[in-house]
Amino acid sequence: DTAVSQTPKYLVTQMGNDKSIKCEQNLGHDTMYWYKQDSKKFLKIMFSYNNKELIINETVPNRFSPKSPDKAHLNLHINSLELGDSAVYFCASSHYQGQAGGSGANVLTFGAGSRLTVL
């Protein structure tokens, strides 16, 4: 059983189109994330949800809209795709340890990634 699964694995589309990536985790985690990895391999956090509530929203264009129907699912919808959106998008999950870091630690389990190519 895959712990964090994303679909689709590959997505090739034209500029201006709208697309979605879906993510599901079966680890019982309460927090889920979207990260973007660009061609230089930098992994940048985009969003985080805890129990369906948005808790992290980095400076991301509002063409990107995450949705979490329940704590096991987190989807990412992208409107009006641009060339610069081409990247690998990773979903991840963890147990929530609080935004102050606390005494716990957010250890992330990642999905295999969804490679988006915008032509």
Partner 1 sequence: SQKIEQNSEALNIQEGKTATLTCNYTNYSPAYLQWYRQDPGRGPVFLLLIRENEKEKRKERLKVTFDTTLKQSLFHITASQPADSATYLCALSQGGKLIFGQGTELSVKP
Residue 7 forms beta bridges with which residues?
22
Applying CB under 8 A, does 51 fall inside the site for partner 1? no
- The alpha-helical segments, DSSP class H, found in the chain are none
Q: How far is the CB of 84 from partner 1 (least distance, A)?
A: 18
CA distance linking residue 27 with residue 78, whole number of Å: 26
Footprint (CB under 8 A) of partner 1, residues 94-113: 97-102, 105-113
CA distance linking residue 60 with residue 40, whole number of Å: 18
Count of residues binding partner 1 (CB under 8 A)? 28
Under DSSP, the state recorded for 22 is: E
Footprint (CB under 8 A) of partner 1, residues 59-88: none
**Which residues contact partner 1 by CB under 8 A?**
4, 35, 40-45, 48, 55-56, 90, 92, 97-102, 105-113
